[in-house]
Amino acid sequence: MSRTPLAIFRSHKWLRRITWLALAVVLLGVILWLAVPPLLRSSVERYGSEFLGRAVKVGEVRFKPWALQLSVHDVSIASADGASRQVEIGRIYIDAAAQSLLRLAPVLDAIEVDTPKLRVAHLAQGQFDFDDVLKRIAERAKPKDEEKTGEPQRFALYNIVLRGGSVEFDDRVVGRKQSLDKLDLSIPFLSNLNADREVKVTPRLAFALNGSPFESVAQATPFADTRQADASFRIDGFDLAPFAVYIPKSVPVQLNAGLLDADLRLAFEQKDTAKVGVSGKLALREVKVSDVGAKELASFDRLDVALADMQPLKGVVHVASLRWDKPRFALRRDKSGQLEIPGMAASGEKPRRARETNAPASGPSKSAAGKAGVQPEWNVQVDQVGLRNGVIDWRDEAVTGEPAHFNLQNLQLDARAIHWPMKQPVQFNGKTEITPLNASGGAVKNPATLGFEGSADLEQAKVAASLRGLPLDWATPYLAGIVAARVGGQLDLDLGLARNGERLIANIGQGSIKDAALTCTASAERCRTLVAAGVPGARRDTLIELGALELQNTLVDLSRRNVSLGKLSLVQPRVYVERAQDGRLMYEDWLVASKTAPDGSGDKKDQAAAESAWTVVLGEVDLKDGAVVVRDAANAQPMLLRVNALQAQVRDFSFPSKKGGVFPVQVSARIAGSGRAEPGSLRYEGHAGLEPLTLNGKVQATALPLQVAQPYLPKDLNVRLVRADGSFNGDVKLLMGDKGPTASVKGNAGLDDVRVRAARTGGAQDRGLASGRDAEDLLNWKALALKGLAVEMAPGKPLALDVAETTLSDFFARVIVQENGRINLQDIQGQPVAAEGDAKGAGDKKTDAAATRGGKQVAQVAPPAQAPDPMAPVIRFGPVNLVRGAMYFTDHFVKPNYSTDLTELNGRLSAFSSVRPAGAESFDMADLQLSGKAEGTAAVDVSGKINPLAKPLALDVKARMRDLELPPLSPYSIKYAGHGIERGKLSMDVAYKIDPSGQLTASNKLILKQLAFGEEVKGAPASLPVRLAVALLADRNGVIDVDLPISGSLNDPEFSLGGVILKVIGNLIMKAVTAPFSLLAGAFSGGDEQGSVPFDAGSAALNKSAQEQLDKVAKALTDRPALKMTVVGWADAESEKAAIKRERLNAMVLAQKRRKVSRDGGDTKDVVAVAPGEYAELLKETYKRADVKKPRNMVGLAKDLPTAEMEALLLENLQLQDNAAQELALQRGVAVRDYLASQNVPIDRLFVGAGKLQGDQAADTKWSPKAELKLATQ
């Protein structure tokens, strides 16, 4: 029979037990399900609030005992003030596993935390709003008496998940808030159970920090014997700017913007030692850094770092690549000259590092370091570095004027194989562009380019750089504080730098500067430009120009301080050099006065410079087409020298020069002075040396303007060298030795187109030298040729001068006897002017020398003996040729002055010397031959022997002159005879002989033809009866023959050759007996009245007496056709005023008569006078027509007046012009001329002078109306 379930239940004991157990479990579960949530909620709130000191709230607790699942909802922890929630958790879920009972360890299948929120506030430095919680926890924590020993608590956690978490951090100290949200954390498995220790854990973490996403994935075995972990971290666009406020204040920069991207992998392994490896990529983007004053310092678009491997525990860093895009740096220098480097004090201190001011916070302590052990030496390797499109902005406010502003833009830099410590040189290359900026920051010119490449390590470096198109005017701001000038031009440079230890060498393979110029920016009076100086081809406003400078193969050893130039080329340099009146060079005016006081270190600097002087070696220097203008105004007369077409070549030059060393030199140029003459040329080819100064070469010079040396001639030289063109072709040697110069000159020389004028000083000597006109030459010649010139000079030896042949062509000399009796050539050396008492003439000098017609000698004084000078120059001249010479002679000693010319001078002088022949007692005499013309007509011949260099002077000369016209010599005849010479000719034969003792023997034979003297000159120094003398001495053909022998000693200071001759001629004339002589004035019987023609007062009509007198004059003029006459009329405006009015009234009455005759039909030509009987009637008619104020009767009609009253009224109202008397004087002269012409005197011999008034004569002269007659020869 079947059994019922109850029976079965009752019959089975275990079934009953199981059933009751199940019921107990169910009942327990129901009890737990009902009791755990409220108990747990209340316990958490109660004990949590008590433990934390904050209000802890739980919204809901759910427990499923059958599933061992617990969930807690809406958990919160209040803030300290209870006004808000500091911590919020949306849900906490725990799923426990039943095997926890079997393993005797907590095993959780899941732990989930949803939407946890944490709010943290940073209240003050080191204070947070949860500090009270931490303090309470610390106080409740009980110290343990002893630590437990044994194995750690075992656990197994699965599926750990945190979702939607967030953290809000309010940093009230810096005023910033940080936000972390979207926090997700998942750990699939975490267990230290023995069975699970080798299982890999793969946690995942993700969140967004201030909106920047972060994600990491890891794989690890944290509880295995060999702990390993692999983690990856990734963050995109992490904004660093909000965290800039946490940069320590000791750091002198601030981060304004920046984004961080990271994709990193972390590998960790620990066996015996720990091993940590980091790899991946890092990127910084849009970074901007400024100083504390908000001035931008640096920024860049992106910095990418590819990290191949970094092992921080081993000190190993391996960067595969580093790429920096568009970095921009701003460098500044303030007005004080200090770089604006963040952290640098105004005094120029170096910036302090952060660790120096913040060591406790940023660096480990000594104890910590001791615990950590010795830090490993870092080993860094960077495979490749790249910088792209970089910019360096440079602004310099320390310059004068506007700040200098430049940009290094498009900077590209690549470097490879960088190691630290360095195992091999770093290879690098790059390029950039350099551009100046204007005030607004815009580019103003095309950029210059700079490229470079090289390699470097700690001991050695090599760099090759190429610079193209760098304008030199970019340096102007830096020169403005030194010189008031602007630099122009363009620089191209190929430069190599090599360093080996402390030695640094620069190699300029190729360098050039084109179109260089220095332009003055100072005031116009301080800047004299090349154009103003007359430099051809110069640009406007430039001071110095250089067409091109090229440098090749140049080595500069900075350590050894030597320079080796392979080749230096200068093309078209143009330079102007000026020295002002105060002696300052023009360049000194360009310099800007320094504001820095002298520091007294000049001596030390000079000593240091002397101890470490530079050595310069020039392989080759070429200068082409140069131009130099030199102006020296430091002297009374400025000097101007122009050098054009300058060419120079120098080879193998070194400085300092080796003693005795020479180098080849070639120089050529065209040289001109201040005039318009064609420039000369100069060429030198040979060798030169500096130690000592040495020249040895060939010189070719043509037409050098030697007149530029005029300002440097001796101050007492009273002449001005207007022009002198020097030429030379030959060899020159010069050695400046310790004992003195040694020189040798051999070749052909010339001095052409020489013009010497007297210097105008304003004194009597100046008037004599210049003859009153500055334009007159004192000396000049066209050409002076010295062939076979040889000059030798050596210390301790006399100067030796040899000239094979000399030719002087087209020469001219002006000889002037000054008012004081001195010859102008005597005053060339600035001799003092003769005293006034000595200016009476040579004829007034006393002389004891006797002059006799028989040739009697006079006493002589022997010259004093002179010892020969062993250092006297040895001069030897070959033949001297004189071609086409002239001499102009002017004598201001006589009044009026006398001038004559000696032209067409040609001659020859044979060889002569300043030394006597061996064994001879006298000098060799040279043969002299000279010919010319005096006054263009008189032939002059000179012959004889002379030696100009002999001391004392000796000569034996004969001279002959034929048919010299004598009238030009009238000044002398007036001075010494009181009469001028009207006509005559002179022929002369003279002979002069001077022996070495100074004895003069002279013969003077004179032949005069048709000599005629004029009237006696009033006021002349002397008056001699020369007319009678001529009559007595002349033969019937009018010829006078005189022989005047003279002798004397030149050593006698009282002896004067001219005075002796004049005394002989005067004695000859005084011996003549006075005799009557008829002259033209004798034809005018009556004397002085024959010199004038009288007139009636107020009238220009000739009376009968005047006409008779003029008849005699007309006859005399007819008989002497060589005479001409000038008539000058005279009048007196005051004494003749009434007479002139009376004559005007008579003319008006005569005009009325002619008018009446014309009305009656008569001929007015016959009306020449008014008869006395008709005068009253004509006067009445004239009165009626006159426009004068007339007396009236009662009815207003003009009254009839007597003749006398009408005359008086008309004369009173007759107005005379101011020049009435002048016109009357002129009419008188015309009347005399017309009368003489009517007497058949040719009109071309008659002249009318300007009328004169009585006021023109002296006050004491008795005056009467007249016309003067003046005679002259035609």
Per the model's pLDDT, the better-predicted residue between 9 and 69 turns out to be 69
Closest CA to 240 of 273, 270, 211: 211
Given a cut of 50, whether residue 372 has pLDDT beyond it is no
Reported as a pLDDT band with limits 50, 70 and 90, residue 669 is: very high
Query: Rg of the chain over CA atoms, in angstroms?
Result: 64
The average pLDDT across 804-818 equals 88
pLDDT (tens digit per residue) in 581-597: 888 887 777 777 655 44
Given a cut of 60, whether residue 851 has pLDDT beyond it is no
Where are the alpha helices (H) located in 1120-1171, listed in sequence order?
1137-1159
> Among 11-25, 324-338, 927-941, which is the least confidently predicted range?
11-25
Residue 1189 DSSP label? -
Residue 360: the pLDDT is 40
3-state secondary structure 904-945: EEEEEECCEECCCCCCCCCCCCEEEEEEEEECCCEEEEEEEE
The average pLDDT across 847-868 equals 44
Residue 842: the pLDDT is 40
Q: Rounded to whole angstroms, what are the CA distances from 515 to 536, 546, 951? A: 16, 6, 63
Helix (H) or strand (E) holding 277, with range, is strand 274-291
Residue 649: the pLDDT is 94
Per the model's pLDDT, the better-predicted residue between 385 and 530 turns out to be 385
pLDDT (tens digit per residue) in 1103-1128: 888 888 888 878 867 765 656 788 99
Residue 1037: the pLDDT is 60
The average pLDDT across 689-714 equals 90
Per the model's pLDDT, the better-predicted residue between 964 and 845 turns out to be 964
Residue 835: the pLDDT is 42
Dist. CA 773–CA 791, nearest whole Å:
38
Reported as a pLDDT band with limits 50, 70 and 90, residue 143 is: low
Given a cut of 80, whether residue 706 has pLDDT beyond it is yes
> Among 235-239, 655-659, 1168-1172, which is the least confidently predicted range?
1168-1172
CA geometry: angle at 306 spanning 302 and 311, to 5°? 130
Reported as a pLDDT band with limits 50, 70 and 90, residue 492 is: very high
Per the model's pLDDT, the better-predicted residue between 783 and 1020 turns out to be 783
Query: Under a CB-based contact definition with an 8 Å cutoff, are residues 1232 and 1117 in contact?
Result: no
Given a cut of 70, whether residue 69 has pLDDT beyond it is yes
Dist. CA 458–CA 461, nearest whole Å:
8
Q: Which residues contact 336 (CB under 8 A, 6 or more apart)?
A: 346, 398
109-122 burial code (b ≥16 CB/10 A, e <16): bebbbbebbbbebb
Query: Under a CB-based contact definition with an 8 Å cutoff, are residues 559 and 534 in contact?
Result: no
Q: Rounded to whole angstroms, what are the CA distances from 847 to 15, 364, 996? A: 190, 122, 22
Residue 237: the pLDDT is 86
The average pLDDT across 292-316 equals 88
Per the model's pLDDT, the better-predicted residue between 24 and 359 turns out to be 24
Residue 428: the pLDDT is 93
Q: What's the whole-number average pLDDT of the chain? A: 78
Given a cut of 60, whether residue 837 has pLDDT beyond it is no
Given a cut of 70, whether residue 808 has pLDDT beyond it is yes
Per the model's pLDDT, the better-predicted residue between 1153 and 448 turns out to be 448
> Among 89-93, 328-332, 927-931, 1008-1012, which is the least confidently predicted range?
1008-1012
Residue 654: the pLDDT is 87
Residue 589: the pLDDT is 72
Q: Rounded to whole angstroms, what are the CA distances from 1057 to 146, 664, 822, 883, 1035? A: 150, 60, 14, 29, 29
Given a cut of 90, whether residue 570 has pLDDT beyond it is yes
Q: What is the pTM of this model?
A: 0.62
Two tokens at 981? 């010479």
Given a cut of 80, whether residue 268 has pLDDT beyond it is no
pLDDT (tens digit per residue) in 677-691: 788 999 999 999 988
Two tokens at 1099? 């009238």
Q: Rounded to whole angstroms, what are the CA distances from 479 to 312, 361, 472, 659? A: 52, 48, 11, 38
Q: What percent of the chain has pLDDT over 70?
A: 76
Per the model's pLDDT, the better-predicted residue between 1202 and 152 turns out to be 1202
Dist. CA 78–CA 978, nearest whole Å:
148
The average pLDDT across 748-775 equals 64
Given a cut of 90, whether residue 349 has pLDDT beyond it is no
CA geometry: angle at 246 spanning 245 and 249, to 5°? 85
pLDDT (tens digit per residue) in 420-445: 888 889 999 999 998 888 766 666 66
Reported as a pLDDT band with limits 50, 70 and 90, residue 88 is: very high
pLDDT (tens digit per residue) in 539-567: 667 778 888 999 999 999 988 889 998 89
The average pLDDT across 1133-1156 equals 80
